[in-house]
Structure 1
Amino acid sequence: MAKNNNHKAVSYNKWGYIFLIPFVVVYLIFQLIPLISTVYNSFFENYRSGLTQIGPNFVGFANYVKLFEGGEIWIYFKNTMIMWVMGFVPQILVSLLLAAWFSNPSLRLKGQRFFKTVIYLPNLIMASAFAMLFFTLFADGGPINAMLIQAGILKQAYSFFSHAWSARTLVAVLNFLMWFGNTTILLMAGMMGIDPSLYEAAEVDGATASQIFRKITLPLLRPILIYVMITSLIGGMQMFDVPQILTNGTGDPMRSTMTLIMYLNKHLFSKNYGMGGALSVFLFIITGVLSLIVFRFNKTNDGR
């Protein structure tokens, strides 16, 4: 009888492996093989000069040395991190507030389905469309400048795209508007999974709403918060479409909005696959290191 049970278990496990085959095949073809190819190409000189193809010639770590010459890479890394932080901090704060409101049954908010749909809608709009809208709204002769001048706030049009911090702020605001709805839904799912008896016990003990939120909700939401932060960080490191369209690919003013992916795109556009591969490997490593720091930081705070 035991042999029959073991045979059934093995046959059921077989189906699990069969269902994994499509994922493994897709992962190998579209992720692992391109990753290995990128690392391989980063050790070669391979670019086009006019109509002449140079390489591929093996140059070892020469592409990596050239990548860090002059320190430009660190400037673009700083730009990327600044704009990500400027967009992520308000995003997580607003999302926590909205998720707490919508998941609190005692508030009895009306029209919850409508508002949940509305806050998620920006996530469905293409980033390029959003960027074009902001480019038109905040242009020197756009509606925002016109309203500010008519209201007497400005005497003349303010060039939002000619000042570093205003341009960075517009990129951050766009990223905030596009993603806070998705973050709110994730946090709501986490909050709705918390046992209501914990809240009831805390209220009986006389805990205030802020104490309940800090002592119960936030600690139990930690896995979701880590997930949101890591995925947002990865998305921030890949920031491209919004600053690319807002600045017409220049990263101006003074390349203060030039991101790492925009810099990578310039190498790929010029067919410099060696430098593009080296920069891609750098992005892969720095994203992994930052993600590891986030995990370590949260483990330290968790007392482990």
Structure 2
Amino acid sequence: MKKKKRTVSYAKWGYIFILPFFITYFIFSLIPLADTVRYSFYEYYRSGIKEIGPNFVGMANYASLLKSDMLQYGANTLILWIIGFIPQIVIALVLACWFTDARLKIRGKQFFKVVIYLPNLIMASAFAMLFFALFSTSGPVNSILMSIGLIHTPIDFMGSVFGTRSLIGFMNFLMWFGNTTIMLIAAVNGISVEIFEACDLDGCNSIQRFLYITLPMIRPILAYTLITSIIGGLQMFDVPQILTNGQGNPDRSSMTLIMFLNNHLKSKNYGMAGALSVYLFIISAILCFIVYRMTNDSDPDGSKKAAKKAAREERRRRK
């Protein structure tokens, strides 16, 4: 009789090695997530030294939030995100195309990449404190503008809606455009050089090269950038919190959804905080799904559309 060969299965070791991650995720993410959803259906808050609840109230917390200023704070969050994201993606795309264009022969690319990425390493709190000092009424920016005669009285940047929102958007742009630029540079470098050479031989100019070659080829990375930016925008907290001292001034025009959530947590209103967290989760999921569907084409070469069109024509011909 032939002896059976002993086979060693290494598959189980993969599960053993990833087990710590799943245990950590279950304890620190999944259980708190389920607990947050559970709290959203309960009345649970503190009034003075007295603790109310938890009392089951069903969808009352969700209805109360819709009647509150949540929609206004959602609009604030959207406006602040747009102010920061649009310049970020435009500048990042321009820099990515510039640094990856072999025809330009730019020297010191690595140095410029490091300089571009450096603001991403600075803490948001440090950025907010720096801008608060720079743009205050007695700060260096007003002093310089007055000394060169452009203004006669200090500008209260943080006393106007436009000024405060612009500063927050500018800070978000500075902190994240470097990270976006590096990702887009990697995406453009992943495109075959032969495609660009064929494009040049066909006589395409720079705009056509960007619109018809670069942009479609880096669409997956653009989708990733947009989705992570939307999630980050909905979680915007530290910059407006520090710049406005948690008040969202002027007239709560810079109050974001996470700042609103933080106010509920500070007042120990866990039921409303849980309901607002669920709203944020649902909004994030919907927006990310829409972006994913818009930026990912399941039929990039149009073969499926052509096949469907041919089938329709064949049916019409038979009739």
TM-score of the pair, normalised by structure 1: 0.94
Aligned mate of 2:224, from 207, 224, 227: 227
Following superposition, the deviation at residue 94 of structure 1 comes to 0.5
Aligned mate of 2:14, from 1, 16, 33: 16
Task: Name 1:190's counterpart in structure 2.
Answer: 187
| Letter of the structure 2 residue corresponding to residue 277 of structure 1 | G
Distance 1:29 1:119 in 2: 38
Task: Name 2:138's counterpart in structure 1.
Answer: 141
Where does the alignment leave 5 or more consecutive residues of structure 2 unmatched? 306-319
Following superposition, the deviation at residue 297 of structure 1 comes to 2.1
Larger Rg, first or second structure (1 or 2): 2
Aligned mate of 1:56, from 54, 57, 65: 54
Q: Deviations over 1:91-112 (max 9, x none)?
A: 0010011111112222221111
Matched residue SS, 2:10: helix
Within-5 A mapping of 1:104-183: 104-183=101-180
Q: Deviations over 1:240-287 (max 9, x none)?
A: 000000000000101000000000000001111111101100111111
Within-5 A mapping of 1:33-44: 33-44=31-42
Distance 1:136 1:206 in 2: 52
Distance 1:197 1:206 in 2: 14
Aligned mate of 1:270, from 252, 267, 272: 267
Aligned mate of 1:101, from 98, 115, 131: 98
- 1:250 partnered with 2:247: yes
Matched residue SS, 2:290: helix
Where does the alignment leave 5 or more consecutive residues of structure 1 unmatched? none
Following superposition, the deviation at residue 64 of structure 1 comes to 0.9
Task: Name 2:309's counterpart in structure 1.
Answer: none
Task: Name 2:312's counterpart in structure 1.
Answer: none
Distance 1:234 1:293 in 2: 13
Provide the identity percentage.
Answer: 56
Matched residue SS, 2:191: coil
Distance 1:50 1:201, change over 3 A: same
Following superposition, the deviation at residue 196 of structure 1 comes to 0.5
| Letter of the structure 1 residue corresponding to residue 173 of structure 2 | F
Distance 2:278 2:28 in 1: 16
Distance 1:200 1:273, change over 3 A: same
Distance 1:31 1:162 in 2: 39
Following superposition, the deviation at residue 23 of structure 1 comes to 2.1
| Letter of the structure 2 residue corresponding to residue 100 of structure 1 | C
Aligned mate of 2:293, from 289, 296, 300: 296
Distance 2:102 2:204 in 1: 17
Distance 1:182 1:82 in 2: 21
Distance 1:147 1:4, change over 3 A: farther
| Letter of the structure 1 residue corresponding to residue 66 of structure 2 | F
Following superposition, the deviation at residue 65 of structure 1 comes to 1.2
Distance 2:5 2:123 in 1: 55
Pairs aligned (count): 299
Distance 2:201 2:261 in 1: 57
Alpha carbons 2:220, 2:296 under 8 Å: kept = no
C-alpha root-mean-square deviation of aligned residues, in Å?
Answer: 1.8
TM-score of the pair, normalised by structure 2: 0.90
Task: Name 1:28's counterpart in structure 2.
Answer: 26
Distance 1:4 1:220, change over 3 A: farther
Distance 2:270 2:280 in 1: 15
